[in-house]
Amino acid sequence: MATARQDVSEARRIVVKIGSSSLTTAAGGIDADRVDALVDVLVKQDGRQIVLVSSGAIAAGLAPLGLVRRPADLASQQAAASVGQGLLLARYTASFARYGRRVGQVLLTADDTSRRTHYRNAYRTLDQLLTMGVLPIVNENDTVATDEIRFGDNDRLAALVAHLVHADLLVLLSDVDGLYDGDPARPGARRIAEVTGPEDLTGIELGRAGRAGVGTGGMVTKVEAASIATAAGLPVVLTAASQAGEALAGAPTGTYFRPTGRRSADRLLWLAHASAPRGAVLLDAGAVRAITERGGSLLPAGITGVEGEFVAGEPIELRDESGRAVARGLVNFDAREIPLLIGRSTRELARELGPAYEREVVHRDDLVLLRA
């Protein structure tokens, strides 16, 4: 028998993510009835605050541009997103207006949000919208994101947004009613009611997107999103958009992913999962121990080399002597300055180059360890 989902029914701040495949018609374009059906459910969540992460900008922009499927090149996808995002928001605005509710558009890029000031601003804006009774509708800012820094799918973005807004539940809505042990179209495929940890996922075939030309990422990115959220202490429910009401009420629909970890320092989750490192510094064994075992900052004395082009404030990888990435962090120097610092003490650098050089290469507060 399925276990009761008390943490789901009691959740007060919830991120609901809906995929393109659940919002668009087979011919391309927004399916107004499906948008209305979702909105009908969301407005009934009395006493709860909802943040909606909605995909569908690219899909919504296809038909108006005379395209029949998602184009392969980034520029055309971005053009479609630019046309479609406005249409999508207009549709949501009209649908929520039936109930006298307002919505606010929030477009995020993964890269921006791993920076401290942007992260804080994003939190403040979302929190303020919720306090004012406005329902935020989040999407990736497709028109500016480049291939390297782009999520592409919204599943992982939703997991990070759930963490950002201090939600107590993440609901992923798709065109499939849960995680199956293999391709759900295969006869005999079985729905998995509950995932208690990564061990429950061994042997499961995670396929790519379902309906050709609409969704992206398929189950792979949904399971990744669920792992990010559950490791940060959040329960996750994955189910079909048509079952959103039951899922939010805590009924045993879809797949429930049980939390496996505890909430971690805010922004660092974004640094680990959303940032695209611009380069790397190589660390000697002492520096690796200092950051992995003693929770220390990375000082110039422990650096043996530098790779790539980056400027102060950007995310970089910290690698051990074998080249393995052990951490990610926001660097305090430009790449071209690092050779000057290699192997030298901060005191010596300050004496020779001035007090501006008496600083960590990566401060411990801007550093996240990667799992081995």
Ligand X SMILES: Nc1ncnc2c1ncn2[C@@H]1O[C@H](COP(=O)(O)OP(=O)(O)O)[C@@H](O)[C@H]1O
Which residues are known binding-site members for substrate? 55, 142, 154
176 binds ligand X (CB under 6 A): yes
Q: How far is the CB of 187 from ligand VHF (least distance, A)?
A: 25
CA 181 to chain centre: 24
Count of residues that bind ligand X according to CB under 6 A: 24
139 binds ligand X (CB under 6 A): no
253 binds ligand X (CB under 6 A): no
Nearer to ligand VHF, 142 or 366 (CB): 142
209 binds ligand X (CB under 6 A): yes
Q: How far is the CB of 45 from ligand X (least distance, A)?
A: 21
Residue from 229, 301, 293 nearest 261 by CA = 229
Nearer to ligand X, 24 or 78 (CB): 24
Task: Output the six-digit token pair for 297.
Answer: 């900052």
List binders of ligand X among 46-65 (CB under 6 A): 55
Rounded to the nearest 10 degrees, how much is the dihedral formed by the CA atoms of 118, 123, 128, 131? 180
Nearer to ligand VHF, 155 or 177 (CB): 155
Give the span between the Cα atoms of 159 and 248, in whole angstroms: 17
22 binds ligand X (CB under 6 A): yes
Q: How far is the CB of 297 from ligand X (least distance, A)?
A: 39
What b/e string do you get for 104-131 counting C-beta neighbours within 10 Å, with b at 16 or more? bbbbbbbbbbbbeebbeebbeebbebbe
List binders of ligand VHF among 208-227 (CB under 6 A): 215-217
Nearer to ligand X, 113 or 216 (CB): 216
Q: Judge contact between 255 and 107, C-beta under 8 A.
A: no
Q: How far is the CB of 37 from ligand VHF (least distance, A)?
A: 17
The identity of residue 283, as a single letter, is L
Helix (H, G, I), strand (E, B) or coil at 284: coil
94 binds ligand X (CB under 6 A): no
Beta strands in the chain (DSSP E): 13-18, 49-54, 103-108, 135-140, 169-174, 194-195, 236-240, 255-257, 279-283, 303-308, 315-319, 325-330, 367-369
* Binding at 321: pick from ligand VHF, ligand X, none (beta carbon under 5-8 Å per type): none
58 binds ligand VHF (CB under 6 A): yes
55 binds ligand VHF (CB under 6 A): yes
Report which DSSP code applies to 21. G
Q: Judge contact between 60 and 87, C-beta under 8 A.
A: yes
Distances 107 to 35, 142, 144, 358 between C-alpha atoms, Å: 19, 8, 10, 37
Angle at CA of residue 300, ends 294 and 306, nearest 5°: 110
Residue from 319, 330, 324, 333 nearest 271 by CA = 330
Mark the binding-site residues, compressed into ranges. Answer: 17, 55, 142, 154, 174-175, 216-222
* Binding at 57: pick from ligand VHF, ligand X, none (beta carbon under 5-8 Å per type): ligand VHF
Mark the binding-site residues for ATP, compressed into ranges. Answer: 17, 174-175, 216-222
216 binds ligand X (CB under 6 A): yes
Report which DSSP code applies to 239. E
The identity of residue 252, as a single letter, is P
Nearer to ligand X, 39 or 179 (CB): 179
DSSP 57-70: HHHHHHGGGT-SS-
Helix (H, G, I), strand (E, B) or coil at 126: helix
Q: Which stretch binds ligand X (CB under 6 A): 1-9, 62-70, 217-225, 267-275?
A: 217-225
List binders of ligand VHF among 69-108 (CB under 6 A): 81
217 binds ligand X (CB under 6 A): yes
List binders of ligand VHF among 137-196 (CB under 6 A): 139-140, 142, 153-155
Q: Which stretch binds ligand X (CB under 6 A): 39-47, 87-95, 114-122, 172-180?
A: 172-180
Q: Which residues would be at the binding site for ligand VHF (CB under 6 A)?
A: 19-21, 55-59, 81, 139-140, 142, 153-155, 215-217
Q: Which residues would be at the binding site for ligand X (CB under 6 A)?
A: 19-22, 55, 174-176, 179-180, 182-184, 204-207, 209-210, 215-219
